[in-house]
Amino acid sequence: MAFKQDVPWYKDAIIYQAHVRTFSDSNGDGIGDFGGLAQKLDYVEQLGINTIWLMPFFPSPLRDDGYDIADHYSVHSSYGTLEDFRTFLGSAHERQIRVIIEMVLNHTSDQHPWFQLSRSSQENPRRDWYVWSDTDTRYPDAGINFLDTELSNWAWDPVSKSYYWHRFFSHQPDLNYDNPAVREEMWNVMKFWLEVGVDGFRLDAVPFLVEREGTNCENLPETHAILKELRRKLDEQFPGKMLLAEANQWPADLRPYFADGDEFHMAFHFPLMPRMFLGVKLEDRKPITEILQQTPAIPPSCQWCLFLRNHDELTLEMVTDIERDYMNDKYAHDKTMRLNRGIRRRLAPLLDNDRRRIELMNGMLMSLPGTPIIYYGDEIGMGDNINLGDRNGVRTPMQWNGGWNGGFSVTDPEKLYAPLIQDPVYGYPAVNVFSQRRTEHSLLNWTGRLIAVRKTTSVFGSGSIEFLYPANHRILAYVRQLGDETILVVNNLSNAAQAVELDLRRYKGNILIEMFGKNIFPRVGEIPYLLTLGPYHFYWFRLRRI
Partner 1 sequence: MTEVKLAGESFLTDDFLRQLIDVGEVDILVGVATHNNAKTIGSIVETIQAGILTYFPRERAVIVNADGGSRDGTPDLVVSAAIGDARSPSKLYALRTLHSISAQYASSPARGTALRTILAAAELLRARACAVISPESTQITTDWLPAVLRPIYSEEFDLVLPTYRRHRFEGILLSNLLYPMTRALYGLRIREPYALDFAFAGRLGSRFLAQNAWHDETARAGSETQFTLAAIAGGYRICQSFLGNKEHVERRSADLVPAMRQTAGALFASLEPNFSLWNSRTGSQPIPTAGAEPEFTLEPLRVNRKRLREMFSIGVAELESVFQSILCPSTLAELQRIAQLEESRFRYSAELWVKTVYEFAAAYHKSVISRDHIIQALVPLFRGRVFTFLVENRNGSAKDVEDNVETLCLEFERLKPYLLEIWNGRE
Q: How far is the CB of 284 from partner 1 (least distance, A)?
A: 4
Q: In the complex, what is the shortest distance from the CB of residue 252 to partner 1, in angstroms, rounded to a whole number?
A: 14
Contact indicator for 18, 55 with CB cutoff of 8 Å:
yes
Pick between residue 128 and residue 501 the one whose CB is nearest to partner 1. Answer: 501
User: CB-wise, 289 or 399, nearer to partner 1?
Assistant: 289
The candidate with the shortest Cα–Cα distance to 508, out of 520, 496, 493, 523, is: 523
Closer by beta carbon to partner 1, 318 or else 450: 318
Of residues 413 and 528, the one with the C-beta less far from partner 1: 528
Nearer to partner 1, 292 or 339 (CB): 292
Q: How far is the CB of 496 from partner 1 (least distance, A)?
A: 7
Q: What is the CA radius of gyration of the chain?
A: 23
Element (H, E) at 266: strand 266-268
Q: For the chain, how long is the longest CA-to-CA vector?
A: 78
Catalytic residue among 204, 218, 312, 359: 204
Q: Which residue from 526, 537, 535 is spatially nearest to 502, judged by alpha carbons?
A: 526
Q: Please choose, from the candidates 152, 127, 124, 148, the residue with its C-alpha nearest in 3D space to the C-alpha of residue 137.
A: 152
Nearer to partner 1, 89 or 282 (CB): 282
Could you confirm whether 134 is annotated as catalytic?
A: no
State in angstroms the smallest separation of the CB of 464 from partner 1: 18
3-state secondary structure of 244: strand
> What per-residue string of b and e applies to 357-373 under the rule 16 or more CB within 10 Å gives b?
bbbbbbbbbbbbbbbbb
Contacts of 155 (CB under 8 A, 6+ apart): 163, 164, 166, 170, 173
CA nearest to 477, candidates 545, 529, 521, 546: 529
Task: Judge whether 204 counts as a catalytic residue.
Answer: yes
Element (H, E) at 488: strand 485-492
Q: How far apart are CA 272 and CA 256, in angstroms?
A: 17
Q: How far is the CB of 122 from partner 1 (least distance, A)?
A: 50
CA 484 vs CA 380, 478, 481, 545: distances in Å: 35, 16, 7, 10
Least distance (Å) between residue 285 CB and partner 1: 7
Binding site for partner 1 (CB under 8 A): 282-287, 289-290, 293, 320, 322-323, 326, 467, 469-474, 494, 496, 498-499, 501
* Set 102, 110, 199, 246: catalytic member: 246
3-class DSSP assignment, residue 521: strand
> Beta strands of 310-443 (E only): which ranges?
314-315, 338-339, 342-343, 371-375
What is the smallest separation between the CB atom of 294 and partner 1, expressed in angstroms? Answer: 8
Asked whether the beta carbons of 35 and 143 are under 8 A apart, the reply is no
Alpha-carbon distance of 367 to 480, in angstroms, equals 8
Between 178 and 284, whose beta carbon lies closer to partner 1?
A: 284
Residues serving a catalytic function are: 204, 246
